[in-house]
Structures are given as C-alpha cells and as structure tokens.
Amino acid sequence: MFKALLLEQQDGVTCSRIAELDDGALPERDVLVAVAYSSLNYKDGLAITGKGPIVRQFPMVPGIDLAGTVLSSRDPRFVPGQSVFSTGWSVGEQYWGGMAQQACLDGDWLQSLPVGLTARQVMQIGTAGLTAMLCVMALEEGGVSPEQGEVIVTGASGGVGSLAVSLLAQLDYKVVAVTGRAENHDYLLALGACRVLARDTFATPAKPLEKQLWAGAIDTTGSHLLAHLLAQTRYNGTVAACGLAAGSDLPTSVMPFILRNVRLQGVDSVMCPLERRNEAWRRLAELLPASFYSQACHEVDLQGAIAAAEAITCGQITGRVLVACQ
C-alpha cells in the first residue's frame, strides 16, 4: 500500500483526498520510483483545485515534478537504488504524477540527479526553476548581456519569478522585480533584485510603444503586463514569455517588433528536449546560491499540498513549495 493525493471528478467537480492505494493501482510503466519529494507549480494548483483544464483523465495523481529512488526497472538505463527525477512530459496531467509515495514512469521522462544537487534541492527548484533557467538562456541567446541595462521580471515573488530574479542576479544582471505584493519587497531585494516595482505601475492599457526602459524581460503573467514589457523593451531587446498568471491574451501591436527589433521568445519546459534540459540543470546547480533554498522555499506534506494548491491559484504563494511525499 502507498499514500497518494488522488483527484477524482464528480458531476464535473474535481475532488481531492489523500488515498491509501494498493500497489496494483499504479499504471504499468517501465520504472517504479519511491518518491521522496514533489513540488507545487501553478499548473498543479489548477489541477488540484479543478480551476483549469489540466487533468486529461480521472482518477489522477497530480504532481508534474518528482524526485526519488528507483525501486525496480525494466529500462536498462535505470537500476534499483538510483536517484532520479522528472519534470514535465505531461506527468501529473495525462499520466499519474509525483504527489504520491510511489510513481511508475517511462524511462524517457526520467533523469539522473544533476551533479551537486540533492533530490530535495532538485524539487525546490522544480519545473519553476527549469523554466526560469530556460528564460535566462533565451535572453542570453537574444544577445542580452548585463552591461546593456536593467532586466525586468514579472510575477516576481512566485516560483518562476523568484528563481528568475535569483539566477539573473547571480549572473550580474540588474534585476527589476514586479510584484503585486508590497509585503514582498524585502524578500525580492534579498533574492538579488536591485529595485522593486508595484504591479499597479502597469494598470493602464499599454500603448504600442512606450519609453525604452529594459534590455530584456522575463514575463510569467501574459496579458496587459506583457504588452507593457514589449512596448518598453529597448531596441534589439528580448522578452522571454513563459506564463499566463494575469491572462492568456496579449493586447499588443507589431510596433515593438518592426520598429525596435524586439524579440518575443516563447519558453516551454514541458516538452523541452533532454539535451537542453541537461544544460539548464547544469547551470541551475552551478548558479543558485545556498541562500536561495532557505529564503525562497517552504515544505508541506501531501495533505498540505491541497491547501497550498488553492493558495497558488490565488497568487498567495511566495517562492517555491516543496512537497514531502514519505
């Protein structure tokens, strides 16, 4: 028997509970993993609360991230006792995920732990951290360098935002953090932001072009905030867009692209190819300071993940939530 956070649907409403499941309940796949930790991402919040159409079939074990130890494997790449982790690949959406004491996965979805990181640290980083690192790499590939000026990060006190602020600061960028929560200013400065802007600064609709302020931007929010960032990005700048916390619309014009050579780079972590993931994880292990894990992460158990899921969908979580599964 093992414990799992189980999502079921009754009359179109998603219900969550901690269930004791028989080993035979796990879907048959090649690698059986004893899960030590999962983590809570915005998408997990939508899945657990049923506020977004994330789960493709019920019953479902949520958790797009997991880290643990191989118990048995029919895949020659993995052996019992090996430490592994997984992020994305539709796990926790289409396939049973990480918020359980055991998970059974395809070998293609698993990676060995990055050198220098523990299973706990890998889940403190999780999909949010991978996404933040991919955004930073997108800025670098767009030619944005620290001496060009300030880089702005929206949704800064969330998971992706906190990691983006921390990573950019470690790379010597001058980071401007945008938050809707005045009480998080000191937190964001401690992560490495050089200044903090209130989200209200962007309350009015964006004009096609505004004063050129940013060498680059990482946007986790979409909608009018992203429209402002595009209008304010300096000539030749790059905006990496990965999220929709404010909405999936984008009320903008082509002006920043055709008059200022601005590049809008989409970022996806779910289907990101293995080679690029490995590079991103290598850099995460190298860049994140020890202080990140103490400043930006807190831990809940499987039961606690249910309340945290509601909170993340309301924009009330600061930093990252680690989910202890055993």
Of the pair 71, 272, the CB lying nearest ligand NDP is at 272
Binding mask 28-67 for ligand NDP (x = CB under 6 A): -------------xxx------------------------
| The Cα angle at residue 86 between residues 84 and 91, in degrees rounded to 5 | 140
Kind of pairing between the strands at 111-112 and 65-73: unpaired
Q: Is 244 in the site for ligand NDP (CB under 6 A)?
A: yes
Per-residue CA distances from 190 to 52, 149, 168, 169, 228 (Å): 33, 20, 13, 10, 26
Report d(CA 214, CA 150) in Å as an integer.
5
Q: Is 233 in the site for ligand NDP (CB under 6 A)?
A: no
The DSSP call for residue 207 is P
CB contact at 8 A, 206 and 252? yes
Q: Is 269 in the site for ligand NDP (CB under 6 A)?
A: yes
The nearest distance, CB 202 to ligand NDP, in angstroms, is: 9
Query: Strand, coil or helix: what is 110?
Result: coil
Instruction: Indicate which single residue of 73, 101, 124, 221 sits in contact with ligand NDP (rule: CB under 6 A).
Output: 221
Q: Is 136 in the site for ligand NDP (CB under 6 A)?
A: no
Paired strand residues for 240:
218, 265
The nearest distance, CB 31 to ligand NDP, in angstroms, is: 23
Q: Is 246 in the site for ligand NDP (CB under 6 A)?
A: yes
Residues in CB range of 11: below 8 A, 6 or more apart: none
Sole window of 65-73, 139-147, 150-158, 189-197 interacting with ligand NDP (rule: CB under 6 A): 150-158
Q: Is 86 in the site for ligand NDP (CB under 6 A)?
A: no
Return the biggest CA–CA distance within the chain.
Answer: 62
Sole window of 74-82, 98-106, 124-132, 289-297 interacting with ligand NDP (rule: CB under 6 A): 124-132
Of the pair 245, 262, the CB lying nearest ligand NDP is at 245
- Report, in this order, helix, strand and coil percent for the chain, each rounded to 5: 35, 30, 35
Instruction: Tell me the residue type at 260.
Output: R
Contact residues toward ligand NDP (CB under 6 A) are 41-43, 127-128, 131, 155-161, 179-181, 184, 199, 220-221, 225, 242-246, 267-270, 312, 315, 317
